[in-house]
């Protein structure tokens, strides 16, 4: 399959995972078209400073707009759909915005891919669709129980994708990473917010410390995306990407503090806590389906990934607002 898939379109290519994926595909020999959100400044997100930007074709548009998506996907062999509204707290305030971007946007991509005859569509999901683990580790048969508007919008997009495969034969596969981390991630996410606050001092303002998560370094995540796209056996499936290692928020905070030589003073803030019924207490990935189908395994250990993320953020301190809580 890899030999026939030369033109790759990445939606959300200016973002955290999308920018790393676009670079990975260029270095792997793909002709990459990056679909980035239109902005009057002409910014291409994190790809603005990329050393492979000159090898990427850029298209500016809005995933909510059918026509711009249709034009961007013309001629694509494989489509990686990553454009989305992310961030759980903001979804409590504007659930309609999440539906318009995450559900309507996915529908536009699926319709365009169907029209243009794409050989593969990789739609990005999230482990948040499961809610708190009912058993662990969690395989792809785990029940879906969204506990936030963000998670619900992603679950709806997943079901749309599977319906397009069942109804129209669109060669869709759902990539479901658990918690990705690494350079370029928004400092609204756990690991960057801890690092940014500790770069500014010893005081940490956080929410709940007891939830557990399964973190995978972004380089391993994008290798997982590429492996999923190339595996015919995974078409029509949802496929997990994760490390299989569970850590609590509190444990992660202490490890980051140790790596940074800090004596972290933690202050719990109610505004950083999810509503009680929306808190996802546990996520732990079983990625054996991906491993069996493609041979993928994570290569970057957690401590090494944290060090790389700390170093990257340390060089860019001015970009972060560590004590300003943003939904």
Task: Give me the active site residues, please.
Answer: 150
Cα–Cα distances in angstroms (integers) from residue 325 to residues 11, 196, 211, in the given order:
28, 12, 20
Residue 135 in tokens: 């058993």
Q: What is the DSSP annotation of 2-41?
A: GGG--EEEEETTTSHHHHHHHHHHHHTT-EEEEEEE--TT
Q: Is 181 helix (H, G, I), strand (E, B) or coil?
A: strand
Residue 302 and residue 245: Cα distance in Å, rounded?
A: 9
Cis bond upstream, residue 137 (ω within 30): yes
Residue 255 and residue 304: Cα distance in Å, rounded?
A: 12
Residue 327 and residue 323: Cα distance in Å, rounded?
A: 13
Residue 15 and residue 184: Cα distance in Å, rounded?
A: 8
The dihedral through the CA atoms of 174, 178, 184, 187 has a sign that is positive
**What 8-state DSSP symbol labels residue 154?**
H
Residue 20 and residue 221: Cα distance in Å, rounded?
A: 9
- Per the CB < 8 A criterion, the answer to whether 107 and 160 are in contact is yes
């Amino acid at each position: 399959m890899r030999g026939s898939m030369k033109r790759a379109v990445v939606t959300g290519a200016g973002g955290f995972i999308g920018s790393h994926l676009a670079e990975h595909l260029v270095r792997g020999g793909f002709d990459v078209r990056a679909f980035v959100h239109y902005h009057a400044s002409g910014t291409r997100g994190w790809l603005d400073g990329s050393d492979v930007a000159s090898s990427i074709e850029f298209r500016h548009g809005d995933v909510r707009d059918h026509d711009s998506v249709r034009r961007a996907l013309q001629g694509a062999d494989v489509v990686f759909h990553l454009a989305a509204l992310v961030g759980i707290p903001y979804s409590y305030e504007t659930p309609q915005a999440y539906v318009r971007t995450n559900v309507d946007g996915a529908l536009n991509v699926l319709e365009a891919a169907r029209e243009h005859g794409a050989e593969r569509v990789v739609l990005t999901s999230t482990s948040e669709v499961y809610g708190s683990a009912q058993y662990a580790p969690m395989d792809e048969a785990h029940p879906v129980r969204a506990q936030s508007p963000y998670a619900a919008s992603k679950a709806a997009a997943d079901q749309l994708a599977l319906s397009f495969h069942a109804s129209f034969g669109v060669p869709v596969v759902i990539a479901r990473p658990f918690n990705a981390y690494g350079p370029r991630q928004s400092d609204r996410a756990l690991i960057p917010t801890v690092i940014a606050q500790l770069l500014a001092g010893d005081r940490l303002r956080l929410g709940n410390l007891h939830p557990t998560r399964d973190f995978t370094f972004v380089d391993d995540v994008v290798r997982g995306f590429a492996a999923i796209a190339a595996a015919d056996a995974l078409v029509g499936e949802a496929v997990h990407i994760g490390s299989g290692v569970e850590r609590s928020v509190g444990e992660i905070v202490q490890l980051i503090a140790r790596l940074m030589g800090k004596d972290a003073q933690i202050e719990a803030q109610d505004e950083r806590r999810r509503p009680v019924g929306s808190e996802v207490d546990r996520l732990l990935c079983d990625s054996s389906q991906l491993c069996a189908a493609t041979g993928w395994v994570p290569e970057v250990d957690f401590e090494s990934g944290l060090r790389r993320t700390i170093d990257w953020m340390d060089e860019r301190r001015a970009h972060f607002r560590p004590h300003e809580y943003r939904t």
